[in-house]
A and B are shown apart, each in its own frame.
Chain A
Amino acid sequence: MPKITYIEHTGKEHVIEAPNGQTVMEAAVKHAVPGIDADCGGACACATCHVYVDPEWLAKTGEAGSMEQSMLDFANDVEDNSRLSCQIKVSEALDGLIVRLPKSQH
C-alpha cells in the first residue's frame, strides 16, 4: 500500500499506509491524524481538510479543480501548494507523498 507522510504544524510526523482509491483525507481521519478535521467526510462541503503538498509531489497530485479552488479561497493561510486532501486520490504513483498540515482548519 502507498505510504503517506503527514507532518503536523508542530513538526510531528505520521506515516500512514493508505489504500489505493481512498483519499489522502480518509487515510488521515481513519488513523486519527490530528489537524485534519474533514467534518463532511469528503463531500467537498466543509474545507476542513486543507493540506500543503510537498512541492516535489505537486506534479503527481495535480492541481485543484474549480470547486476545490473556490473552497480554498476561503481557507486560512492558503499557499500555492494548498489542496483539500479529500480531493486527492491515493494511487501507487503517490507512494511516498508528503503533506504538511496547517496550524488550524478554521
Chain B
Amino acid sequence: MRPARRGFKHQTAVSTGEINRIIIVGAGQAGGETAQRLRQAGFAGDITLIGEEPCAPYQRPPLSKAYLAGKLEMDRLLLRPPSVYAEEHISFLPSMKAVWIDRATKKVRVEGGRELPYDALVLATGARPRKLPLVGADLDGVRLFRTAADVDAIRPRFVSGAKLVVIGAGYIGLEVAAVARQSGLETTVIETAVRPLARVTSPEVAGFFLDEHTRQGVRFVLGGQPAIIKGQDRVTGVGLADGGELPADIVIAGIGVTPETTLAQHSGLAIDNGIVTDAECRTSDPHIFAIGDCASRPMAHFDGRVCRLESVHNAVEGAKIVAALITGQKPHAVEAPWFWSDQYDLKLQIAGLFQGYDHVVFRGVMADRSFAAFYYKGDKLIAVDAVNRPGEYLGAKMLIQTGRSLPHDVITDETRPMKELVASAR
C-alpha cells in the first residue's frame, strides 16, 4: 500500500487490502458520490472518475423541476464544486468514454486508446433515455430528457404561449408538464396506456394526478399512439395513429430508460435487466462493482427480490455500500427504497415498492390535496405514496425498513398521530 498523500481532508488510516487504484466509470450521482465517500472514509489510494458529460457530477432530479423552471442554476445543481476533485486528488476525466474492460489484466481502455489499471472498478454507467421510434424524431425541437444539456437546449423555446407535446406520462413527463403550465406553455401529454403513471403507482393515485393536471390546464391524450413527428427542419406537430394531429413547437419524450450496460456486456459480465450484482453491489467479477441505474441488486426488505431502481436513493446507497466495503468500514444499513416527485404545490414522497400489492388504504382524503396511500400485500405494509404528508411517508418508510406493519383500520385512523402509530407497531 502506498503512503497516504498530503492534502486529503481525512487521513484516517484504513486498511484497504490490495486495493490502491479505483476506477469509477460514470460521473453521475452514483459515481460522484462513490468518489466522495471513498475519500470521506479515508481511502488514500488513486481514484479515477470517468464521465461522458463535460461537467462535474450533478443532481438529475431538479432537471425536470427547478432547473427547467429556471429557478436553479448549474452551479447549484453540481454535487460539489468542480475544484474539490483536484483538491481531494480525484482524477476526474470529463467528456471521456470508457470503451473496453480487460478483466484479465484489470485495465480500462478509454476512447483514444489510453489504458488505465485498476484494483477495483465501479461501474456507474447509468441509463439511456429511450428514443422515440418515429419518423421525425431527430427534428429540431424534439428532445429526450436526461442531461442538463437536454434542458439547456429546450429552454430558449420553453416560453409562455409555446405549444409543448410531452410523450409519456411517467413522473418525468408529468413534472415537465407541471413546470410547463406554470410557465404558461400550452401543454398536451400523450400516453399510450389508458392512465398516467401506469408503471409506478395505483390507479387511485394516478387518477388524483390526472385530475390535478387537467385542472391546471394540461390536455391528455390517453391510449394515444404517436405515429410521426411532423416538420421540415423544426418540429411543427405530432401525428397520431388515429389520424389526429397535435401542433407542437417542442416535443419532449419521457418514455423510460434502458440501463447502460454496453461496456459490462462486452466484457462478459452477467446482465439481466441491468448489470447483475449481489447485495454488496459486486458483479459476477469480484473486482468489479456496479451501482445506480445500470445495476440490479437484491432488495433486503423485499425478500431479496432483484430490482433495478432508477432513483437518487439507489444511486447514493450503492455508493455508500461500495465505499464502506472497500475501506473496511461498518457495512451501510440499507434503507427501504425511496423516491419523490414535485408537481405544482404537491410533494409526492414514496417509500417501498408497491408492485404486487393486493390492497390499498388511504389516510386523509384526496380533495384536501394531502393524503397517503398505503399499499399492502396481505397484512404486510410494502409501500406508501404520500402527497403533502411527510410524516406518513417517513413513518411508513420506518415500518417497511424494520419489517413492521399496522392493521388497515389503525393506519387510517386520523385521530392518532402517525408518530404514535409507528411507535405502537409490531
Q: Report the stretch among B73-81, B233-241, B246-254, B407-415 that lies at the interface.
A: B73-81
Contacts of B62 in A (CB 8 A): 41
Cβ < 8 Å to A, chain B residues 410-426: 418-419, 422
Say yes or no for B338: interface residue by CB 8 A criterion: yes
A47-B394, A73-B419, A74-B395 given; A106·B342 CB < 8 A? no
Cβ < 8 Å to A, chain B residues 73-107: 76, 78-81, 84, 88
- Which one of A37, A39, A71, A106 contacts B390 once the chains associate, using CB atoms below 8 Å? A71
- In the bound complex, CA of A71 to CA of B36 (Å): 26
Say yes or no for A58: interface residue by CB 8 A criterion: no
- In the bound complex, CA of A46 to CA of B36 (Å): 19
Contact A67 B36 (CB under 8 A): no
Contacts of B78 in A (CB 8 A): 30
- Which one of A22, A34, A73 contacts B391 once the chains associate, using CB atoms below 8 Å? A73
A interface, how many residues as a size bin? 20 to 34
Interface centre among B78, B333, B340, by most chain A C-beta atoms within 10 angstroms, is B340
| Number of chain B residues whose Cβ lies closer than 8 Å to a Cβ of chain A | 35
A34-B40, A39-B313, A74-B394 given; A45·B76 CB < 8 A? no
Say yes or no for B347: interface residue by CB 8 A criterion: yes
- In the bound complex, CA of A47 to CA of B338 (Å): 12
Say yes or no for A15: interface residue by CB 8 A criterion: no
Contact A29 B390 (CB under 8 A): no
- In the bound complex, CA of A44 to CA of B393 (Å): 12
Contacts of B394 in A (CB 8 A): 47, 70-71, 73-74
Contacts of B419 in A (CB 8 A): 73-74
Contact A30 B349 (CB under 8 A): no
Contact B388 A43 (CB under 8 A): no
Contact B40 A32 (CB under 8 A): yes
User: A40-82 interface mask toward B, CB cutoff 8 Å, 1 = contact, 0 = none?
Assistant: 1101111100000000000000000001001101100000000
Contact A44 B81 (CB under 8 A): no
- Which one of B10, B79, B418 contacts A29 once the chains associate, using CB atoms below 8 Å? B79
User: B377-396 interface mask toward A, CB cutoff 8 Å, 1 = contact, 0 = none?
Assistant: 00000000000111100110
Contact B388 A67 (CB under 8 A): yes
Say yes or no for B16: interface residue by CB 8 A criterion: no
A101 to chain B, nearest CB (A): 14
B277 to chain A, nearest CB (A): 20
Contacts of B389 in A (CB 8 A): 70
- Which one of A26, A29, A32, A45 contacts B338 once the chains associate, using CB atoms below 8 Å? A45
B401 to A, closest residue via Cβ: A106
Contact B390 A32 (CB under 8 A): no
- In the bound complex, CA of A4 to CA of B340 (Å): 29
Say yes or no for B325: interface residue by CB 8 A criterion: no
Say yes or no for B316: interface residue by CB 8 A criterion: yes
- In the bound complex, CA of A30 to CA of B81 (Å): 6
- Which one of B9, B84, B312, B390 contacts A70 once the chains associate, using CB atoms below 8 Å? B390
- Which one of B81, B88, B340, B391 contacts A43 once the chains associate, using CB atoms below 8 Å? B340
Contacts of A47 in B (CB 8 A): 394
Contacts of B225 in A (CB 8 A): none
B398 to chain A, nearest CB (A): 7
- Which one of A31, A32, A40 contacts B340 once the chains associate, using CB atoms below 8 Å? A40
Contact B313 A41 (CB under 8 A): no
Say yes or no for B59: interface residue by CB 8 A criterion: yes
Say yes or no for B129: interface residue by CB 8 A criterion: no
User: B315-342 interface mask toward A, CB cutoff 8 Å, 1 = contact, 0 = none?
Assistant: 0100000000000000001010010101
Q: What is the interface of chain B, defined by CB distance below 8 A to chain A?
A: 9-10, 36, 39-40, 59, 61-62, 76, 78-81, 84, 88, 312-313, 316, 333, 335, 338, 340, 342, 347, 349, 388-391, 394-395, 398, 418-419, 422
